[in-house]
Amino acid sequence: MQRRAFKMQLHPGQIAEYKRRHDLLWPELSDLLKSAGISDYSIFLDEDTLTLFGVLKTTNPAALDALPAAEVMQRWWAYMADIMDTHPTNEPVSIPLQEVFHLD
């Protein structure tokens, strides 16, 4: 099992909408993430900076590379593009974070 962490940026005034959309996460997106070996996935928010911090566990890190090509992932990114920083492809600007400490 490998842990991955990353940060993204939410647009001002979009906290409630971001939470609402994730509370209604599409079942087909959830299935895709699980089929890629993702589990224990959380996203945290720093309300002062609107920085989103994601952390997940994966049993298959190589499978993460295939996620951007999935149709449901493309639709989700398009759905979220109006409330967070994205690339021209609608993919969220996601900056990997280096693990510097872990305690089991």
Active site residues: 22
* Closest CA relative to residue 21, chosen from 59, 60, 77, 69: 77
Burial class (CB in 10 A: 0-12, 13-18, 19+), 101: exposed
